[in-house]
Amino acid sequence: MASGKTPWPMRSCRRVDRFQSRVVTSRNPKLAREAEESLTTKQRLASPWERRRPRTTQLRDMGGVSHQKFSAVDPDQRLFQPFPSQVVFENYVPRQFYMATLALRNRDRVPRLLNVILGNSPYFELISPSDEDYKVAAGMSSTYRILFRPDENKDYFDELIIITEREKFFVPIRAIGARAILDFPEQLNFTDCPVRFSTRKTLLVRNVGKREACYSITTLSPFSVDLSIGTLGVGEAMEVTVEFHPPKTGVYSSPMIVHYDTGEDVHKSLSGTAVDVNIRLDKSSLTVEKASITLSNQRSLVIHNQSAITAHFQWKRFVDQEEEERQKLRLQRQEEDKLHDVPKEHGVVPPLREHPSLPLCTFQNQGTEVQGDCMPFCNDIFTIVPMEGDILPNSSLEMNVIFKPKEARVYQETVYCDISGCETRLPLCLRGEGVGPHVELSCDQLSIGKVFVGSTHSYRVLLLNRGVVETHFSVVYPERAVGCCFTFTPREGMLLPFEHQVIGISFNATVLGQFTEEFQFSVKGSPEPLTLTVSGCVIGPAFHFDVSCLCFGEVSFGFPRTLCCRLTNASSVPFNFNLRIPGDGSGAPSVTSFAQVSDSIGLSWRKRARGANKPAEFTIRPFTGTMCSEGHLDIQVTLCSNTVKRYKLALVVDVDGVGKELLSLPVRARCVIPTLRVLHPAVPFGRCSLKVPYQQMLTLVNDSNLPGCYWALPQENKAAAAVWYSSPEPRGIIQPHSSVEIPFTLEVQVTGKQDTVARVAVFGSKESPLKVHLLSTGEGPVVHVHPSEINFGSIQVLQDVSRTLHLSNQSVIPASFSAKMAGENSCWSIGPSQGVIPAKAEVSVAVTANLDDTEQFKDEVVLFIENSRTYIIPVQAVGIGTTIVIDKPFGPKLQLGPCFSLDPCCYCFQMTNKGRRTHLLYWTTEGGTTLQQCNHLPPISNTKGKVSSCGPVFTLQPLRTELMPGQTAEMVLEGSCRTPQVVKEKLLCHAIVGNEGVKNLIMQVDVTCEFIAPALQICTREITFRVEKHPGDVLTLQYKPLSLKNMCSLPLSVVLALEQPFSICTADQQPLPADAQPMKLRSGEELQLCIRFNPAYEEDLLIWAAEKALKIKFLEHPHEEQVTVRGEVSFPNLQMQTTALDFGCILNDTKDVRYMEMTNCSPLVVQYH
């Protein structure tokens, strides 16, 4: 650090003047880095400031901080104007101090508060004129200093927060570090460069800056730069090539922008001029001599290059690049159209990506080729060799144009030479003529005369080649019908020079009449085809029937009838024929009466005749076939009429390939329906049980000469009918002058007399069906009920008591019944309440009474018999007992079991009034008896049987209770006794029911309870520990076992207490856990414990003894037990007769002897010294 500088941080304004001042204001975004690096501090400070509007983040309410709520400064302007609007540090050295000044001028007409805040930055420090907010007078400025100390030569950024009375805005602080500078020339000029040719210039560029340059270079077409992205170290150099490729003549200019990674852009200028050079063709039109097809001819062409460049040329199809691009776009659209047409051609639904099996790759590849194709000249007729190449400066190149025609005509094509150095393509017009082959027929007219239809004839003609080249020929057939009867052999082939070909012609006549057909021979390379004209006449065969008419006479509706005839061929050629009867129906075959009889579907006959198409009533066998030459065939024609009418039709013959209806045979017939009648229109069935089938026969008579077909129609709307009827044999055929019997089955559904109309239809008849009356009387079931009344007598209330009701069915049909009680909320129930009584059978029904009061009850059982009468059976009963119900076992004897004396015994239960009347209950105790008291506590079982009198032990709360119907009361039975004994008492409950004024005893309960005291069996009543401490011995803990057994019939909760130096342990000599007490002992359970003695409890070595009581308490009873625990510890001790010897006054140099008795008071041998 330079001498004289104040260490960091610096707060005093008086010392700041000695700091270096390197501050710059905001500048134009296009930085001229070379000029800025050379500026001194004074020059930068002297440069004019650029004012920028500060960034505002928050508007404040002036009324909350100032009385001056209105300002003369526009709302879009700041109250304080910062100078400069941006603080910039440049050209600094790391770890040196630099200072900048910021002035804030009050633009308002009144004083305003100002506060400037700088963030917590280790590189910038704000030196304010005041440590607190203060007001700045109108039009005055407040100056702040920003102190900057960089750690390294890099960019730094921070912001000053300016808070005024109206807004909060920011002033940025920037420190710009070292920068890289590439010394590109300011301008680079390309003069008089060939058009459509690449001209390059190489520059040597150095990094003259103070930082490694990471750059990227961009420019505009037609200029381009290699090494457009890279890195160059400080002081290093590199070569950069700039290329100029103008597409057209003229003057070009473009900026070259160098982008640095630090964000600066440097603009350079590029310019150039494009001109045409001297390159030309020796001729603009070229005519090639005539050539025969499949042969070729050629001429030469020269390109002259009189320029100083190596020119590259290529022959093109189009006049310029724009036309070539339009042609590419058109071909690309055609390929896309083909791509969209693929699903329609293959029957596939888009999208195509779901069907990879389609040939999509082919179209996609073609589209890619079209996009990248340079569209060179390509033609099957004209070929230029070479198609492209290079021509050296000031030289010429000779090339050949090859003409190979494919047809006999004149060809003309214009091609374009695309060559470097020329703005436009050089045109060349190519012309040539092709010479075709010389072929002719031996004759051009062929007459075949008269031929029979279906016969085959053969002919021959010659095809001659009188030319010098071989050629291909083919026969073109006409589109008319007769043309398809001809066959040419061969149909196509090659014809060698000066050779001929025999053409065979076969004719198979299929169309009658005169004909003239023209056949053309197409010769490849010849503009006009050869024509052969063939003419003649085709005649048909002769045939006839052996009868003049087919007469069927009268036929019955739906009954088929067959007639025969013979068809004879009088010609010498066979033919295929078809027989048909025009006017016959085109629908389904007509229905025969036999099919109607076997039909199980049962469709209406009249509806069958109303189809969309008339039925086909005639059947011809055979109706098609082949008739041999001069042969015959027998034909059968069957008529099954489904239409009442007269038939005047004809049987016609169609011959394949000849014509329709060449011969006809008249057909005559008349269809009638026979008249049928019912012999007895009324059929009596008599009395019928419901839903039982009955059967009778119906006689049907045919008085006509034709057979008939009948059908007993099924019953309509059968579900709602009172009588169901059907026929097991509803269809049949009745012969002429005969009768048949039709069975009818009837089932009556309701009672009473019934007259049911059945219908019999005649096949084909449009008249109403024949009516038949089925007469019947319906009867329901007969049921006998016994007993006729039920008396339950006196029964306990709230208990189910049942009686049986017998239902006997006397009829042959089942009887459905349902039963219920006449009264609402009845005390009686019926089960089952409904069911079916089988025919000639009996069913039992249980009537159950459950009375809820002690009085007489009456009701009636209502028994419904379906389709029969209703029965009323009276029932009655008298309730006895009580309707008070207790939820727990209570009477007549209540055993409460054992209970500890001095501990109250409680028994809680609920009493519910399930009757209809209010009960007022009173509880009393009858004189109780007790057993004699025991003189000792355990055991108590030997005191039973000794009786002594005492007062009542048990009490019941509450003693008086009023229970409404359905109400429940909580009752508590309590008992206690001070001495162990067995107590037995009798509890009496009296009740006043309803409005009765007399108390009645409704309940008495014998209560017994055994009061006992805790009985604990202890293994010993005294535990003694004796320990002798010999020299060298170590005192250890001593243990002795203790067992406790519960001898009473109830579990005990035992709590043990023992003082030190004794303690209670578990059976495995572990200290008893703190939560182990109280210890639960079930009846008869034994607990094993240990008593621990600590002989080292007393720290001196004197003989000592301790005696404590192990207290055993019970949580259920105040009785206590004790066990004496004693511990003795013996040491080798001596007992002195006295503890002090007083020799009194003795003379010097004299001796006085005193004797003291010493006693061994321990049981041990004592060695002393």
Q: What is the pLDDT of residues 593-645, one digit of tens each?
A: 888 888 755 544 544 445 567 888 899 999 898 888 888 899 999 999 888 88
* Residue 10 reports pLDDT greater than 70: no
**Stretch 895-902: mean pLDDT, rounded?**
85
Which tens digits make up the pLDDT trace of 851-860?
888 888 999 9
Two tokens at 467? Answer: 């030319």
Spell out the alpha helix ranges (H) of 675-729: none
What mean pLDDT is predicted for residues 539-555? 86
Non-local CB neighbours of 318 within 8 Å, separated by 6+ positions: 324, 327, 375, 416
The helix/strand/coil state of 452 is: strand
What is the band of 891 on the pLDDT scale with cuts at 50, 70, 90?
confident
Question: Is the separation of the CB atoms in 105 and 83 below 8 Å?
Answer: yes
Kindly state the percentage of the chain with pLDDT values over 70: 88
Name the more confident of 564 and 1144: 564
User: Does residue 671 carry a pLDDT above 80?
Assistant: yes
Is residue 706 within 8 A of residue 764, CB to CB? The reply is no
Please enumerate in sequence order all residues whose Cβ is within 8 A of that of 1128, keeping only pairs 6 or more positions apart, or say none.
Answer: 1024, 1025, 1026, 1027, 1103, 1104, 1105
Please say if the pLDDT value at position 303 is more than 50.
yes
Residue 101 pLDDT level (bands cut at 50, 70, 90): very high
More confident call, 822 vs 60:
822
Distance CA 34, CA 23 (A): 18
Burial class (CB in 10 A: 0-12, 13-18, 19+), 170: middle
| More confident of the two residues 223 and 471 | 223
pLDDT tens, position by position, 1011-1064: 888 888 888 899 999 988 888 888 888 999 999 999 988 898 999 998 999 999
Note the pLDDT of residue 356: 41
Alpha carbons 920 and 913: distance in angstroms, whole number = 10
Phi then psi for residue 42, to 5 deg, are -65, -40
User: Which DSSP state fits 616?
Assistant: B
Residue 601, pLDDT score = 53
Residue 817: the pLDDT is 92
954 pLDDT band, cuts 50/70/90, is confident
Angstrom distance (rounded) from CA 427 to CA 943: 149
- pTM metric for this prediction: 0.38
Average per-residue pLDDT in the chain? 82
Question: What is the predicted pLDDT for the residue at 482?
Answer: 65
Confidence category of residue 942, pLDDT binned at 50, 70, 90 = very low
pLDDT of residue 56: 65
Average confidence (pLDDT) over 967-989:
88
Residue in 36, 49, 112 with CA at minimum distance from that of residue 82: 49
Handedness of CA 587, 593, 594, 600 (dihedral sign): positive
Stretch 747-772: mean pLDDT: 88
Instruction: Provide mean pLDDT across the span 804-812.
Output: 90
Does residue 937 surpass a pLDDT of 70? no
951 to 304, 930, 954: CA distances (angstroms): 156, 9, 10
Q: For 41-56, what is the mean pLDDT?
A: 53
In 3D space, the residue among 733, 723, 754 whose CA is nearest the CA of residue 676 turns out to be: 733
Confidence of residue 57 (pLDDT cuts 50, 70, 90): low
**pLDDT in the model for residue 977:** 85
User: In this predicted model, what pLDDT tens digit does every residue of 453-499 receive, in sequence order?
Assistant: 777 888 888 888 887 778 888 888 777 766 678 888 888 888 888 88
Taking 80 as the threshold, does the pLDDT of residue 153 lie above it? yes
pLDDT tens profile 559-578: 999 999 998 988 877 888 89
**The pLDDT of residue 241:** 92
The answer to whether the beta carbons of residues 742 and 774 sit under 8 Å apart is no
Q: What is the mean pLDDT of residues 412-441?
A: 87
pLDDT in tens, 247-266: 888 999 999 999 988 888 89
Q: Which of 218-222, 762-766, 840-844 has the lowest mean pLDDT?
A: 762-766
- The answer to whether 62 and 104 have CB atoms below 8 angstroms apart is no
Question: 392, 303 in Cβ contact below 8 A?
Answer: no
**Which range is least confidently modeled, 157-166, 371-380, 622-631, 678-687?**
371-380
